[in-house]
Amino acid sequence: MYFSDLFPRLPMTVDEYSKWRQQLWKQRGPNVATPTYGELLPCYKDALDRCRAVPPAEDSAYLRSVAAATASAQAMRAAESPMDYHARAVTSPNPLPAAPPYRPASSVQLPPRPATRQTLIDEMLRGVAAGAEEPFYVVDLNAATERLALWRALLPDVEPFYAAKCNGDPALLLTLAHAGLGFDCASASEIRTALQLGVPASRLLYANPIKQPSHLRYAAESGVNLTVFDGADELHKLAKVHPGCALLLRIAVDDSGAQCILSNKYGAPLSDVAQLLATAEELGLHVAGVSFHVGSGSSSGDAFKDAVARAAAVFELAAKNGHPMSILDVGGGFPGVDSPEVSFRTMADALRSALQKHFPKERGVRVIAEPGRFFASPTHTLAASVIGKKIVQLRADEGAATGNATGNAEGDSRYDAAAEGSLAVTAERINYYINDGLYGSFNCVLYDHATPEVNVLPTPGETTAAVDEPPTAADDAPLACVWGPTCDGIDCVISDAKLPPLQVGSWLYFPDMGAYTACAGSNFNGMDLPNIVYLQARGNDRTPKPPDEAAAAMLAQLAEEGVTPAPELK
Ligand SMILES: Cc1ncc(COP(=O)(O)O)c(C=O)c1O
């Protein structure tokens, strides 16, 4: 078991990561329980080592199953009308109201259906047929509206403020704004974008507990009057720069079961609360409520139960001190995609019952949330093409062939120099190089601890894997290593993918890539972030466009359909 070692391997599952964090927590305490960059590097080394342990290729049975799956997928595609999704285009006739009321479940119509996997595949194939060579996203805005309907069904009394940091695609923001959502903004730039899209300042929450003074000034000038704090110095800053702002006190909660922890950096311990409330009072600031975040990609409803109980204790203390509170912000942490371990329904049930216990409706507390990945994850499907491949021969003394993630990850030349001729070749590994990587969309592997699902796009004339589920190769199928396009040895997307034989020019696709992906990607090595094609966009030109161009065209289309920025804020 690698958890008995100091460093687990990467990419790791949520469960594995949380176990590692709990181990670090025990060893070093909560404030330093996040793995450091130095600790992550050996994890990558381990991942690279595993790449070299790939068994030799034995592919005939596997290829037969791939061919059968491809034939059935092609039959399914032929049966579906190629343009069916146009019928599900965004067609809302009303302009964005200045301050749309939050609409609970009962007043909401059924949302447009999100695209099927097959429709997404068709769109990607159309992009490829139109000549796409760069990586691109297919964006399905209906997936976000469907998530909203689910939210409103299961958490009807919790107002979502979408966390724009998760994916700031303007068409996605406008779609959510039009549906009446508020936004959790982390900076002046996110506030500006939301305002430009017509979201009234009253629907914005500046949810960054530590704010750059110039950004806070911009919030004050823009009329954004709700923010979060977790320390005395921030209170002094607020008193100077934005004294009229209503405040939420962010408390630390148990986030040890989350994919990404946050309480190591933010959140006041309960023991500090009394003093912070007293300081706010001295400074003449209004603390309107409490906020918390159970960690992004939380794995259990229990974290919400515990956090709501803590928040209730703070409400009680404030009331005792003569300053009753009126807002509870339950943060984010909701799953982007359900898994066997965690589902939105279970989490929402746990949260609802905790709210019912501590904040029953009669109490009149306004409950808001800051979900990010819940809305964004299913909206984006990424297509990337194989730009190169290489077969690497592994020798008996595999240890000698290992490099490290700091620059000599391949390590092959070092190995050859030391051992050529003296060790037998025992296995082969297939390296596929694709045109998006760890420095682009797949930064989520590193920062978000994500494990992307890889699929082969069944482009005509190729032998490909099943199209409607992840490739499940036979046990003896060769493992492949999927690398990104930069020259860095750390740029490994998936170290042990089960893939059929691919050619340069084959395409892979990765579903549910909408959360914490391109927004944190870079142009390292001069690689552009992926282009975009919106599934709901009209017209015959399906060539994926650069993000700005695609978004501008989609915004124009949404405006034509009545989803417009509020006129007074243009
Ligand atoms: C303050 C704050 N709110 C909301 C979110 C969104 O969280 P999630 O995507 O898990 O819903 C984050 C994510 O880091 C955050 O830091």
- pLDDT at res. 109: 52
CA–CA gap between residue 151 and residue 132 (Å, rounded)? 36
Q: Is the pLDDT of residue 369 over 50?
A: yes
Cβ–Cβ < 8 Å for 492, 481? yes
Q: Render pLDDT for 66-113 as a digit per residue (tens, 0 to 9).
A: 334 334 433 433 443 332 222 222 222 222 223 344 444 444 456 678
CATH of 208-369, one of 3.20.20.450, 3.20.20.10, 3.40.50.300, 3.90.180.10: 3.20.20.10
Q: What share of residues in the chain are helix, strand, coil (percent, to 5)?
A: 40, 15, 45
| Average pLDDT over every residue of 490-506 | 93
Q: Which of 481, 487, 492, 519 is catalytic?
A: 487
Helices (H), 108-255: 117-129, 141-154, 170-178, 188-196, 213-222, 232-241
Pocket of ligand 1 contains residue 336 by CB under 6 Å = no
Pocket of ligand 1 contains residue 51 by CB under 6 Å = no
| Average pLDDT over every residue of 57-71 | 37
How many A from CA of 370 to the centre of ligand 1?
A: 6
Pocket of ligand 1 contains residue 262 by CB under 6 Å = yes
- pLDDT at res. 67: 39
Q: Is the pLDDT of residue 476 over 60?
A: no
Q: Render pLDDT for 293-309 as a digit per residue (tens, 0 to 9).
A: 999 999 889 999 999 99
Mutate to test the pocket of ligand 1, among 184, 249, 290, 293 (most ligand atoms within 8 A of CB): 293
Q: Render pLDDT for 514-563 as a digit per residue (tens, 0 to 9).
A: 999 999 999 999 999 999 999 999 988 899 999 999 999 999 999 999 88
- pLDDT at res. 46: 55
Helices (H), 410-546: 412-419, 443-447
Share of the chain above pLDDT 70, in %: 73
Q: Is the pLDDT of residue 438 over 80?
A: yes
Beta strand pairing call for 136-139 and 531-534: parallel
Q: Is the pLDDT of residue 43 over 80?
A: no
pLDDT band at 22 (very low <50, low <70, confident <90, very high): confident
Q: Is the pLDDT of residue 38 over 80?
A: no
CA–CA gap between residue 74 and residue 78 (Å, rounded)? 6
Pocket of ligand 1 contains residue 335 by CB under 6 Å = no
pLDDT band at 427 (very low <50, low <70, confident <90, very high): confident
Residue 66 CB burial class (10 angstroms; 0-12, 13-18, ≥19): buried
Segment among 188-202, 405-419, 545-559 with least mean pLDDT: 405-419
- pLDDT at res. 232: 98
pLDDT band at 25 (very low <50, low <70, confident <90, very high): confident
Cβ–Cβ < 8 Å for 25, 438? no
The residue whose CA is least distant from atom 14 of ligand 1 is: 296
Q: Is the pLDDT of residue 416 over 60?
A: no
User: Three-class SS of residue 229?
Assistant: strand
Q: Is the pLDDT of residue 48 over 60?
A: no
Q: Count Cα neighbours of 490 within 13 Å in the Cβ-side half-sphere.
A: 18
| Average pLDDT over every residue of 43-61 | 45
Specify whether 245 is catalytic.
no
Q: Is the pLDDT of residue 333 over 60?
A: yes
The owner of tokens 């920062």 is 447
Atom of ligand 1 nearest to the CA of 296: 10
Q: Report which of residues 418 and 273 the model is more confident about.
A: 273
Q: Is the pLDDT of residue 45 over 70?
A: no
- pLDDT at res. 449: 94
Q: Render pLDDT for 214-272 as a digit per residue (tens, 0 to 9).
A: 999 999 999 999 999 999 999 999 999 999 999 999 999 999 989 999 989 999 999 99
What is the domain partition of the chain in residue ranges? 7-28+45-100+117-142+374-562, 208-369
Pocket of ligand 1 contains residue 230 by CB under 6 Å = no
Atom of ligand 1 nearest to the CA of 291: 1
What's phi and psi for 386, nearest 5 deg? -75, 120
Pocket of ligand 1 contains residue 184 by CB under 6 Å = yes
Mutate to test the pocket of ligand 1, among 165, 181, 264, 375 (most ligand atoms within 8 A of CB): 165
- pLDDT at res. 461: 53
pLDDT band at 52 (very low <50, low <70, confident <90, very high): very low
How many A from CA of 333 to the centre of ligand 1?
A: 6
CATH topology of domain 7-28+45-100+117-142+374-562: Lyase, Ornithine Decarboxylase; Chain A, domain 1 (2.40.37)
- pLDDT at res. 75: 46
Q: Render pLDDT for 98-155 as a digit per residue (tens, 0 to 9).
A: 334 444 444 445 667 899 999 999 999 999 999 999 999 999 999 999 999 999 999 9
Segment among 10-19, 99-108, 273-282, 474-483 with least mean pLDDT: 99-108
pLDDT band at 21 (very low <50, low <70, confident <90, very high): confident
- pLDDT at res. 397: 58
Average pLDDT score, the chain: 82
In this chain, the answer to whether the domains covering 7-28+45-100+117-142+374-562 and 208-369 adopt an identical fold is: no
| Average pLDDT over every residue of 405-430 | 58
Q: Which of 139, 143, 160 is nearest to 151 (CA)?
A: 160
